[in-house]
Amino acid sequence: MGRIMIKGKASPAHKEKFFLWINAVIKAIKKHISLIFIFSFNCLPLKNNKIFMFSYYGSQYGCNPKYITEHLLMNCPKNKYDIVWAFNDPDSKNERTNIRKVKTMSLRYFYELCTSKVIITNFRTTELFKKRKDQFYIQTWHSSLRLKQIEKDAEKALPKDYLKMAREDSKKIDLIISGCKYSTRIFKKSFWYNGEILKKGTPRNDFLFEQNEKVRKKICNRLSIPNGCKVVLYAPTFRNEGNLDVYKLDYSQILEKLKRKFGGEWLCLVKLHPHLISKSIGLQENHQIKDVTKYDDIQELLSITDVLISDYSSLIFDFSITKRPCFLYVPDYLDYIKIDRQLYFDLTELPFISATSNLHLLEKLDHFDSQKYTKNLLEFLKKVGSYENGEACKYLIKRIDEVCFSK
């Protein structure tokens, strides 16, 4: 057999094409192997009390799936449900001793997924979830209400591959949860879905109705926050164009302003979007500024927050449950709605106070009117038709009971 000789050195462009081809081949092989596992395991019987959960593709123990799990463990008889969580790194979740854990995309992962009666997630599932006829898929999404347009409403801004995956995922859904009437309308209009919607609130927000000093102290101790210290949380969303200047806050001035306005000692927590974890490493931490970007549970952070500063993130609507002050730092507002996403609300329609520069934000903090803010907030919650009352988990578990045990 003759040898094929390639003269000269391969150019960087050729090398890149070669490695892309190799990666595509490996990906295709993995996919086909996974499909063999899936179709094999789909021949096995379902376990009627098994619930399979994952949050943000296995990256964390948080959001709605976490709070559904906690409610099940606290309120249901032991062993009534077999709860399985999928994590990218199960060993990092060793403190979770009361749930079974599997590694995403492992053989065990596919077995547990294929034989579970109920599947619960907060994001889209991929083509490697081949839903069975008698399985029940609950899509909890990851917001009670949202400012940024999503799915069909944001088709021009979203990648084609994602849109294809999202449409296919919607065909599998049996139940979506909704936090308010406005959200229900969005799901019906933009989610390619016309099935059952549970209009009882958002499971992760039940936690924000609980004013538990012991829990607050536990979270503060975990974050080394001194007893009695007040907390301002800065939690912005991600920008597609990658401009990091929009995240630059004058922390020292803000902390000084908060101290003068509200009294007490203040500390700033900074939680950047997961896509910006590498950038948060450069954050200059000190005794007044803490980087909590890697902290799994945003609800826990919101629960100990006295003042929130965000932007276009949906967590501003979760935080509204606490009735505490929320400010929107949006120096790139016009660019954002032009380049990233259109919004469901004009900022002037929101009860939250927006600022377009550090100086502007300091002025807004200085002139904050608590009574006016609360009045505007309550009017807004009435306008969007909030379902939130701290009992979302209870109603969802009742529905899960029906699915798993009704003959």
Residues 400 and 349 in one domain: no
Residue 406: the pLDDT is 85
> What's the pLDDT at 242?
65
* Residue 137 forms part of a structural domain: yes
Which backbone phi and psi does 366 adopt, to 5 degrees? -65, -35
Written as tens digits, the pLDDT of the chain (407 aa) is 444 444 556 677 777 777 778 888 888 888 889 999 999 999 999 999 999 999 988 988 999 999 999 999 999 999 999 999 999 999 988 777 789 999 999 999 999 999 999 999 999 999 999 999 999 999 999 999 999 999 999 999 999 999 999 999 999 999 999 999 999 999 999 999 999 999 999 999 999 998 788 899 999 999 999 999 999 999 998 887 666 788 889 999 999 999 999 999 999 999 987 666 655 555 556 678 999 988 989 999 999 999 999 999 999 999 999 999 999 999 999 989 888 889 999 999 999 999 999 999 999 999 999 999 999 999 999 999 999 999 999 999 999 999 999 86
Cβ neighbours for 189, distance < 8 A, ≥ 6 positions apart: 152, 153
d(CA 89, CA 266): 34
The full length of the chain comes to 407
Q: What is the 3-state secondary structure (H, E, C) of the chain?
A: CCCCCCCCCCCHHHHHHHHHHHHHHHHHHHHHHHHHHHHHHCCCCCEEEEEEEEEHHHCECCHHHHHHHHHHHHHCCCCCCEEEEEECCHHHHCCCCCCEEEECCCHHHHHHHHCEEEEEECCCCCCCCCCCCCCEEEECCCCCCCCECCHHHHCCCCCHHHHHHHHHHHHHCCEEECCEHHHHHHHHHHCCCCCEEECCCCHHHHHHHCCCHHHHHHHHHHCCCCCCCEEEEECCCCCCCCCHHHHCCCHHHHHHHHHHHHCCCEEEEECCCHHHHHHHCCCCCECCEEECCCCCCHHHHHHCCCEEEECCCCHHHHHHHHCCCEEEECCCHHHHHHHCCCECCCHHHCCCEEECCHHHHHHHHHCCCHHHHHHHHHHHHHHHCECCCCCHHHHHHHHHHHHHHCC
Range of the domain at 55: 33-201+391-405
- Non-local CB neighbours of 133 within 8 Å, separated by 6+ positions: none
State whether 191 and 43 are in the same domain: yes
Instruction: Flag whether 8 is in a domain.
Output: no
Tokens 């609950």 — which residue? 138
Check whether residue 181 and residue 45 sit in a common domain: yes
**Does residue 79 belong to any structural domain of this protein?**
yes
Cα dist. 151→100, 154, 156, 157 in Å?
32, 5, 10, 9
Q: Are residues 374 and 239 in the same domain?
A: yes
- pLDDT for the residue numbered 31: 86
- Please report whether residue 25 resides in a domain: no
Q: Are residues 307 and 193 part of one domain?
A: no
- For residue 300, being part of any structural domain is answered with yes
Q: How many CB atoms lie within 10 A of CB 349?
A: 10
Same domain, 172 and 236: no
Looking at the structure, do residues 157 and 301 belong to the same domain, yes or no?
Answer: no
Beta-bridged to residue 309, according to DSSP, are 234, 327
Q: Which residues pair with 52 in a beta bridge?
A: 84, 119
Strands 82-87, 289-291: pairing is unpaired
The strand pairing partners of 103, in sequence order, are: 87
- 230 in the same domain as 120: no
Residue 270 falls inside a structural domain: yes
pLDDT at residue number 275: 62
What's the pLDDT score for residue 348? 93
239, 191: one domain = no
> 11: burial class by Cβ within 10 Å (0-12, 13-18, 19+)?
exposed
Q: Do the beta carbons of residue 84 and residue 34 sit within 8 Å?
A: no
pLDDT of residue 25: 83
Domain match, 104 and 140 both: yes
Terminal C-alpha separation, the chain: 67
Same domain, yes or no, for 223 and 99?
no
- Asked if residue 240 belongs to a domain, the reply is yes
CATH of the domain at 39: 3.40.50.11820
248 and 326 assigned to the same domain: yes
Answer yes or no: is 22 within a domain.
no
Q: Are 183 and 202 in contact (CB under 8 A)?
A: no
Number of structural domains the chain divides into? 2
Q: Give the whole-angstrom CA distance, residue 54 versus residue 63.
A: 10
